[in-house]
Amino acid sequence: MSFELLATDHATRGRRGRLVTPHGFIETPAFMPVGTRATVKGLTPDQLRAVGAQIVLANTYHLFLRPGAETIRELGGLHTFMNWDRPIVTDSGGFQVFSLSGTFKPSDDGVSFRSILDGAWHSWTPEENVAIQEALGADIIMQLDECPPYPAEEATVARAVRHSAEWAVRAKKAQTRDDQALFGIVQGGVYPHLRMESVERLQEAGFAGYGIGGYSVGEPHDLMLESLEPVASSLPQDRPRYLMGVGNPTTLLKAIALGIDMFDCVLPTRTARLATAFSSSGRLNLRNARFARDAGPLDAECSCPTCSSYSRAYLRHLVTSKEMLGGILLSMHNLHFLIDLTAKAGAAIAEGSYKGFLDAWMRSPAATDY
C-alpha cells in the first residue's frame, strides 16, 4: 500500500490524497460503506459500484463466527467470496467484542468473549486476530484494540490505551503478509492526555496508517471533535487517517477540516431501512404523508440511480407497504450522498476552497438536521 498526499487546504487542515492497494486506489477523503458480514445490506456489488463505492468494510468478529476465516480463505478470500474486486478493509472486531457488556473478559494477553450466535466462549490474542484477518485477505487490516464505552472512568480508558498500544506492537510483529496494510488504532476516549499518549506510543511502533477509534460510542459530537483535533494534527502527514464509525454528514465535513481522510459507518444504510433519506435540505422521513403524491426526486441535486429513476411518492409507497425494495433504493441513495459529499469535499480541497465549502454547508438547512 502507498499513500500520496495530493493537496492540502491552507485555511483548514483538509487533505486530498490517493491510497493505492493491490485491488485499486481510493481517492481521499472517502466514505466507506459497511459490509459487516461480507455484504452491504441489500445491495449487490454492481449497485455499490453504481453509487461510487471505492472500498467497503467487513467485520472480523462476525466473519470469524460465521462462516469462519478458514472457510473464506479456502474459497479464495473475501474479494472472491463476496465478488468485490475493489479494495476491502476489515476491522479487528474489537469494537463488537467490547460493546457487549458482560460477555467479555480482557487481560494483558488479549480478550475472551462469548459468541452472539451460540454463547460459546472464544479467545483472541493480537497475534491470533492478525492471523484471522490475513486469512480473510482484506487490503487493509486493523489491530485488535480495546474500545471503552462513553462515559467511562479515566482508569478504564487508561487501561484501554495501554492494552491497545501493547497489542499494536504485537500485531505488527505477527504480520506475515506484505500485501496487506496494518493500521494501528488510537484510543483514549475524550481524555486529551490519554489520546496523545496513544498517538505517541503508536508512532513509536510505526504503521501504514492510523485508525482513530473509541468515538461514536455515545459522546456528544462537539466533545468528539474537540478531542479529535489534537490527535489528527499529531499523526504523521504521510499516512492515512481513518476516523472509525462516523457517518453523520456535518460531523464528517468538520472532521475533514481537521485532516481526516477515511470514514465508515452503518448510519446511511440503517437509516435507509428505517425509511429515512439524507438530502441537501436535511433528513427526509419517507413515511410522511406529504410525499404521497410527490412526483419529484428525493433530492434534486443528487445524481444517484434512485434519484434519477424514482419519485418520492413511489418510495413512500414502498416503505409504507413494507416492500424490501424501499430499503434498497434508499440505501443506494444514502450511500451515494455520503460518497459524493466526500468527493465534493476533496474537489474543494484541491481548489483551495474547502473553508468556503464547509461554511456554505453550515449555512444550509441540512447542517442543523444531522
Query: Mind listing the pLDDT tens digit for each residue in 108-160?
Result: 999 999 999 999 999 999 999 999 999 999 999 999 999 999 999 999 999 99
- The reply to whether 359 belongs to the active site is no
d(CA 116, CA 119): 6
Least confident among 78-82, 217-221, 250-254? 217-221
pLDDT band for 87, please (50, 70, 90 cuts): very high
Nearby residues of 366 by Cβ (< 8 Å), 6 or more positions away: 249, 250, 279, 280, 281, 282
d(CA 224, CA 283): 22
pLDDT band for 101, please (50, 70, 90 cuts): confident
Share of the chain above pLDDT 70, in %: 100
Where does the chain hold its CATH 3.20.20.105 domain(s)? 55-265
> Can you say whether the dihedral through the CA atoms of 291, 295, 299, 302 is positive or negative?
positive
Given the residues 9, 145, 264, 299, the one annotated as active site: 264
- Nearest C-alpha neighbor of 263 from the set 6, 11, 48, 26: 26
Q: At residue 61, what are phi and psi to the nearest 5 degrees?
A: -60, -55
Q: Nine-digit cell at 230?
A: 489534537
161-173: average pLDDT:
98
Note the pLDDT of residue 362.
97
316-325: average pLDDT:
98
Q: Mind listing the pLDDT tens digit for each residue in 12-53?
A: 999 999 999 999 999 999 999 999 999 999 999 999 999 999
Query: CATH topology for 55-265?
Result: TIM Barrel (3.20.20)
d(CA 256, CA 303): 23
Note the pLDDT of residue 368.
85
Given the residues 9, 91, 139, 299, the one annotated as active site: 91
d(CA 43, CA 83): 12
For residue 273, the tally of other CB atoms under 10 A from its CB is 18
- The reply to whether 264 belongs to the active site is yes
d(CA 16, CA 30): 9
pLDDT mean across residues, the chain:
97
Q: Mind listing the pLDDT tens digit for each residue in 223-265?
A: 999 999 999 999 999 999 999 999 999 999 999 999 999 999 9
3-state secondary structure of 255: helix
Note the pLDDT of residue 154.
98
Contact 114, 68 (CB under 8 A): no
Q: Please determine, for residue 81, whether its predicted confidence score (pLDDT) is greater than 80.
A: yes
Q: Mind listing the pLDDT tens digit for each residue in 338-349?
A: 999 999 999 999
168-192: average pLDDT:
98
> Can you say whether the dihedral through the CA atoms of 52, 55, 61, 65 is positive or negative?
positive
Compute and round to an integer the Cα radius of gyration of the chain: 20
d(CA 32, CA 139): 13
Q: Mind listing the pLDDT tens digit for each residue in 182-210?
A: 999 999 999 999 999 999 999 999 999 99
- Nearest C-alpha neighbor of 242 from the set 146, 174, 141, 97: 141
Q: Nine-digit cell at 56?
A: 467497503
Note the pLDDT of residue 370.
76
Note the pLDDT of residue 226.
95
Q: Nine-digit cell at 335?
A: 450511500
Q: At residue 182, what are phi and psi to the nearest 5 degrees?
A: -95, 125
Contact 112, 122 (CB under 8 A): yes
Note the pLDDT of residue 295.
98
Place of cell 484477518: 133
